[in-house]
Copies of this chain bind each other. A is one copy, B any other.
Amino acid sequence: MGIAGGLYHGHRMSVRRDPIRLGIVDSDSGFLKVLAKRLEGSGYEYRVLPGGIPPEELVASKLNALLFDPTVLRSDPWDFLERVGSLLPGLGIIVCSANSTVAQRVRGLRVGADDWIAKPCHPEEVVARVEAVVRRHRRGRSTADAGPMVVGEIEIRPDRFQAYVAGRSLELTRREYELLQVLAEAEGRVIEREALYQSVWGYAMAHGDRSVDVFVRKLRAKLNRTSPGWEYIHTHFGIGYRFEPESLDKAAVPVADAEPEPDAARSPDSNRSLSSHA
């Protein structure tokens, strides 16, 4: 289902001063000119998009926010809003239009818009509202990309987009690394397939897409090749995957299990990770 051809660069690393990638769908040249002037040199990466652009084409752009005037859309604005919202749940949507009614604004906000600005408007306010939406969306995102992370035998280094075992690189590709990172950040929690796809690929998973499975397999292969004796990724049938390092040594987990209640110690869920078993 690869709509995304290339454009794999713009990555989210430091949430802080990451430039905002803004898509603009508007035809008012005066408005565009003034806005462009304001955006220049403010750390924005913006791109003016044609009015007839299908939502699917937005996928590859890795936008943070979309500013658009519904009157320049060729397709039904409400339908467009809904489709963009469901396809790209991580995208902030700001509508900017002249002569809107309360009912229109309410409807727009209900079907997925994050804000609705009335024209004419000051470019400074547009920028402030775009940033508020993006900030709101980024808030609560991944904590600390900065620090390396050690789980089990492996070390994950965001500064190099790579993982290591005893200093030896796993030689992960970009997708493999991102998948590993998303999984590892949620250590111990089950992540649904769709959520995983959403986090790594950036847009909604198409029905029947097997990419996640294939990459989990690749990841497992590289993890096992470099760190045998450990199991990291556990399958939860019908749900998704869970990352949790487990030593395969017959030596029990590093918990003092001499206790009279052996199971009381959280044996990490003997959940059938259909890999092991007999």
List residues of A whose CB falls within 8 A of some B CB: 8-9, 89-90, 92, 102, 105-106, 109-110, 113-115, 122, 124-125, 127-129, 131-133, 136-137, 139-142, 144, 159-162, 164, 166-169, 171, 173-174, 188-190, 192, 195, 207, 236-239, 242, 261, 263-267, 269-272
Contacts and interface: CB of A to CB of B under 8 A. Distances in A.
A255 B239 CA distance: 38
Given A109-B131, A270-B169, A160 B190 contact: yes
A167 B267 contact: yes
Given A106-B124, A109-B131, A174-B238, 6 more contacts: A102-B124, A114-B133, A161-B239, A164-B269, A167-B267, A168-B267
Count of identical protomers in the assembly: 2
A263 B159 contact: no
Given A132-B115, A174-B238, A239-B174, A195 B102 contact: no
B106 A167 contact: no
A162 B269 contact: yes
Contact of A139 (B89, B171, B174): B89
Q: Max chain B CB contacts within 10 Å: which of A140, A159, A164, A236?
A: A140
Nearest to A198: B140
Contact of A125 (B106, B129, B192): B106
A176 to B, nearest CB: 11
